[in-house]
Structure 1
Amino acid sequence: MSTQPEGRRPTIRTVADRAGVSKSLVSLVIRNSPNVSPERRAAVQVAMDELGYRPNASARALAEDRTRLIAVLVNDLRNPWYIHALEGINALLHRRDLRMMIGDQRLDLLGDEVLTAAFLEMDVDGLVITGSMVQSERLIHTATHLPTVVVGSRSLALPRGDLVCNDDEQGSRLAVDHLVGHGHRSIAFLNAPTDAAIFREQGYRDTIAGHGLETFVDMDDPSEDGGYRATVRLLTANPRLTAIFAYNDLMALGALSAAEQLGLDVPGDLSIVGYDDTTMAQLKAISLTTVDNASYRIGYRAADLLVDRIAAPSRPPQTLLLEPQLVVRRTTGPAPTD
């Protein structure tokens, strides 16, 4: 229990007096310096607990000449894919005694202008760019002045920085080969206007061509409503379609709703495959066959690369493509025989 007089915040001096050590040694403990014996570290920790002392973040930043803040710029937090990626990012940062602050670009009416300017003003240690982003001058300026890693977008051409994402073409091959293996010959792709969709559509087209089949593509928003609209258009124009591969799980959920609206059984009449393996896809009531794009591992590896870049800003940029896996659930099955 704290014995600090009421109304007064404990300081490094009061902690040092309580532990019977110097202020400089308390400072070393706060900075997790290895140059402190276990006995003295324990004494300082006991004193801080008894006094209710919490290190001042601003003072620590001044002492270390760094804020230990990592800025994460997200394209749209409504997409559940980002939750898994952010969990991976935060897991690594927590291990390295770093804190994550998140900015949602969708909520910034000026694009990334306000958020990136705020990140620089806060003197963050590094930047994680997550998802599809417009390559604005402000974004390039910020990435030039901060150690940066890009997660999930392969079209951003930054002057320096690392890239970690899923092998989208391989994910599409897994999905299409799975459907072809179940006898499907009329397979459509629900596309969306995003960076990753470019690679996923290319993987779809290449794999479909490799099987000697015809392509069917429709584009809409990468949302449940977008998937619903695109599916209705495709099935109305091509009633013989027996399978749909969606750009993401949200669009696949829209395809499920469209199939129900049109009186089609899934997977008896129509098989549906999503992409991302979000928590929604894993729900037993939905049980969506989908491509697991390793979003948690992507976030973890991205944060790891960023920490390395903070330590060595001039090292050559790295690009990591992590292998996806197909997760088969109840929304896919054999093609209808009629």
Structure 2
Amino acid sequence: MARKTGKPTIVDVARAAGTSVSSVSVALRGEPGVSEQTRLRILDAAQRLGYRPDQRARLLREQQSRLLGVTFAVNQTFQAEVIDHLYRAADRSGYDLLLSATTPTRSASEAVDDLLRDRCETLILISPALDESQLADLSTRASVVTIGSELRIDAVDSVHSDDRQGVTDVVDHLVGLGHRHITYVDGGTTAMAAVRRTAYLEAMRGRGLGEHAHVLSGDSTEESGIAAATRILDSGEPLPTAICTHNDMMAFGLLHTLRSRGVAVPNDISVVGFDNTRMAALATVQLTSVSQDAAQLARTAVERAIMRAEKPAPAEEIVTPARLVIRETSGPPRPRPAE
């Protein structure tokens, strides 16, 4: 007879332990109904076979999935770090995470639809690329918590950092070092892009530097940072003394391009990012950046998601502090021509 291949089933465990399938089910759930000797024999057989119960199937039979569906963008480093913390936050809650990614060819709506088909009780959307009408419609089909989104929907929980204060702190830091010509590279249509852009413009005006405010278009990717640096260097105009970006990935692109073109950071141009991703702290990068505290955002989002899954609760907006982390890419400005 050919040897059976594939994952062991509960039937295989029952045969190996010399018991019924129902006895195996009872023993693996830790419920009364089998003797201690039989329980130990079943557990030993399960371990030898490498059997792992299908928790999702069991929960579906019980008419509750206990799944938290999560959407995220595969090309965003900060979102990957948030997911790491979401797993940690959900680890002891009795809930599991089910991930559904957005990509350049897979929309946020498609990612959400897959989670709904998998019976996720609550959705956690990380910086979702959805408009208000799409989010409002989604809130009629599932409980929703967003992380890092500027959308305001009555039935949707919103968990985000104080981005306005974070950007204001960046401008204050640079002005305090003596900078006046500070350029901002925008995040385009990315979540929170409008909030951060507006905060930059208001901070510059509030410090009497409105005439020096300059916003370059971008789209939150490293390639966008490379393109912005290239435009700045090839413009023929006097270089800004400092550049702040919508996120760290754009700052990484900027740093690479500036340094490859012989521009010293921070002696020639200071660079400040946003998100304080793990790469920002690398010895070869040492990027000054705004920390959103991914761990706190994740813990808060999981708490709200579970609360909404277990009982009706009014939606809340929860704002966590942002903190500027100063490293080696920001310093006093160099003199500009005619200054």
TM-score range, shorter chain: 0.7 to 0.9
Task: Say which of 321, 324, 327 aligns to 1:326.
Answer: 324
- The residue identity in structure 2 corresponding to 1:245 is C
8 A Cα contact 1:108 1:115, kept in partner: no
SS of residue matched to 2:201: helix
Kindly state the Cα deviation for residue 108 of structure 1 after the two structures are TM-superposed: 4.8
Q: For 2:111 and 2:40, locate their aligned partners in 1 and report how far apart those are by CA, in whole Å.
A: 37
1:135 aligns with 2:134: no
Q: For 1:14 and 1:59, locate their aligned partners in 2 and report how far apart those are by CA, in whole Å.
A: 21
Kindly state the Cα deviation for residue 328 of structure 1 after the two structures are TM-superposed: 1.0
Q: For 2:316 and 2:266, locate their aligned partners in 1 and report how far apart those are by CA, in whole Å.
A: 41
Output the aligned Cα RMSD.
Answer: 3.2
1:191 aligns with 2:177: no
Q: For 1:303 and 1:43, locate their aligned partners in 2 and report how far apart those are by CA, in whole Å.
A: 38
Question: What does residue 121 of structure 1 align with?
Answer: 117
8 A Cα contact 1:282 1:288, kept in partner: yes
Question: What does residue 231 of structure 2 align with?
Answer: 233
8 A Cα contact 1:16 1:22, kept in partner: no
Question: What does residue 148 of structure 1 align with?
Answer: 144
Q: CA deviation digits over 1:206-249, x for unaligned, max 9?
A: 22112111311111221222122223334536415211111111
Superposed, 1:166-315 pairs within 5 Å as 166-193=161-188, 194-213=190-209, 214-234=212-232, 236=235, 238-312=237-311, 314-315=312-313
Aligned pair count reads: 323
Question: What does residue 88 of structure 2 align with?
Answer: 91
Q: For 1:15 and 1:128, locate their aligned partners in 2 and report how far apart those are by CA, in whole Å.
A: 41
Kindly state the Cα deviation for residue 184 of structure 1 after the two structures are TM-superposed: 0.9
8 A Cα contact 2:68 2:305, kept in partner: no
1:103 aligns with 2:100: yes
User: Percent sequence identity over matched residues?
Assistant: 27
Superposed, 1:2-151 pairs within 5 Å as 9-10=9-10, 26=27, 29=30, 44=39, 47-52=42-47, 53-74=51-72, 76-106=73-103, 108-109=105-106, 111-135=107-131, 140-151=136-147
Bigger Cα displacement from structure 2, 226-235 vs 190-199: 226-235
8 A Cα contact 1:85 1:300, kept in partner: no
Q: For 1:128 and 1:292, locate their aligned partners in 2 and report how far apart those are by CA, in whole Å.
A: 21
* Aligned CA distance change for structure 1 residues 73 and 154 (closer, same or farther; 3 Å): same
Gaps of at least 5 residues in structure 1 are 1-5, 31-35
* Aligned CA distance change for structure 1 residues 232 and 59 (closer, same or farther; 3 Å): closer
- The residue identity in structure 2 corresponding to 1:215 is A
8 A Cα contact 1:90 1:300, kept in partner: no
* Aligned CA distance change for structure 1 residues 46 and 27 (closer, same or farther; 3 Å): closer
Q: For 1:25 and 1:229, locate their aligned partners in 2 and report how far apart those are by CA, in whole Å.
A: 61
* Aligned CA distance change for structure 1 residues 59 and 264 (closer, same or farther; 3 Å): closer
Bigger Cα displacement from structure 2, 147-156 vs 172-181: 147-156
Gaps of at least 5 residues in structure 2 are none
Q: For 2:221 and 2:333, locate their aligned partners in 1 and report how far apart those are by CA, in whole Å.
A: 26
8 A Cα contact 1:29 1:41, kept in partner: no
Kindly state the Cα deviation for residue 156 of structure 1 after the two structures are TM-superposed: 5.3
8 A Cα contact 1:277 1:290, kept in partner: yes
Q: CA deviation digits over 1:240-262, x for unaligned, max 9?
A: 52111111111112222332354
SS of residue matched to 1:145: coil
Kindly state the Cα deviation for residue 265 of structure 1 after the two structures are TM-superposed: 1.3
SS of residue matched to 2:185: strand
